[in-house]
Structure 1
Amino acid sequence: MKKKVFYYAKELVFIIIFMSIFANILSIYKSQELNKQALKFQSFKLIDNTTYNVNTSKPLIVHFWATWCPTCKLETSNIEYLSKYYNVITIAVNSGSDYELHTYLQERDLHFKVINDNNSEYSTQFNIKAFPTTFIYDQNQNLVFSEVGYTSTIGLLLRMWWIKLFK
């Protein structure tokens, strides 16, 4: 019995490592066509009709997502957690009206800042082809990391830690 448990635990660890490597390779491949330029925006209009001014003294996470995206739904708790400690702006693409987005957030007890990109203006400028897509900019608004697909809270925290240490 003990050998079987050890065998299955070993196999599970192997599968997790393999899937992580595969997901990272896929993300690198998909992120090659993303806009790699420095962030050009100084402010954004949010769905609550307020303006979010980019704080240039701190790193910024820009996260593209959609209400209809299953992977985005899995990742919302990660983004919610980071939004409590870091500058996070999210851009909801083709996800309905401001009211529908506000309702969506309320139903899920989410509080991160949201821009409604119903006309795909931002997603076109950033060359977004898949969701979710996350950009991390340093305090000088230079792109440091980009990720296509699911990113764990730990993965995002490690990237923010990296910027803090080395930028």
Structure 2
Amino acid sequence: MIDYQPIVKKVSSIAIQVAIMLFVFLLMSTALDIWRAQQLPQGTLPVGSYTTLNEQVINFHDLEHYAADELVVVYFWATWCGPCKVTSPSVKQLAKHYPVVSIAMASGDDKVLEQYVSSSGLNIPVINDDNQAIANTWGVKVTPTVLFIKGGQIHGYTMGASGYPGLLARAWWLAKG
């Protein structure tokens, strides 16, 4: 007869260690997000009107009114950003469910950025913020940063690499609330 008690004890010990490591990781990640978000706008959104690479005019004042009824995602990213290469496809998928406006920070002139967007298949509105004026106005210092806006205010955010399931779950939760 095989004694399973030592095996069960070992598996339980490993499961507890994994749970503790996951809890510590989530706690540290949340604390880091809160610390990095100190510069994000409080209250109303910064006002500005910008043109996307495909000549669409995005007015953040209009976005504020639009966002009163619906969740809007504002995605700050850069072509040179490694974690953005993980997050951009997730944001592209998220755009099937929620309006997304993306702002490319310090990613070169329009021609360079258009080539990158075309080759990566990122088919969401892209505003070129080559000098980071928009990012500075919004207090964004980290790429990628994903902001969830509703009612003209930031209701949620995440910074750093994010996967589609996490972004979708957060957007769904914020949209219903």
TM-score normalised over the length of structure 1? 0.83
2:91 corresponding residue in structure 1:
79
One-letter amino acid of the structure 1 residue matched with residue 134 of structure 2: Y
One-letter amino acid of the structure 2 residue matched with residue 88 of structure 1: V
Deviation at 1:89, TM superposition (A): 0.6
2:139 corresponding residue in structure 1:
127
Tell me the secondary structure at the aligned position of residue 147 of structure 2: strand
Tell me the secondary structure at the aligned position of residue 89 of structure 1: strand
- Aligned-residue CA RMSD in angstroms? 2.4
What is the alpha-carbon distance in structure 1 between the residues aligned to residue 149 and residue 141 of structure 2? Answer: 19
Q: 1:110 to 1:7 in 2, by over 3 A?
A: farther
Unaligned runs of 5+ in 1: none
What is the alpha-carbon distance in structure 2 between the residues aligned to residue 35 and residue 128 of structure 1? Answer: 9
Is the aligned partner of 1:159 residue 2:176?
A: no
Q: What pairs with 1:50-129 in structure 2 (closer than 5 Å)?
A: 50-52=56-58, 54=63, 55-56=66-67, 57-129=69-141
Is the aligned partner of 1:149 residue 2:149?
A: no
Aligned length: 165
Deviation at 1:153, TM superposition (A): 2.3
Unaligned runs of 5+ in 2: 1-6
Indicate if the aligned counterparts of 1:28 and 1:147 stay in contact, CA closer than 8 A.
Answer: no
Aligned equivalent of 2:31, options 15, 25, 33: 25
One-letter amino acid of the structure 2 residue matched with residue 49 of structure 1: E
Give % identity: 28
Deviation at 1:25, TM superposition (A): 1.3
Q: Radius of gyration: which is bigger?
A: 2
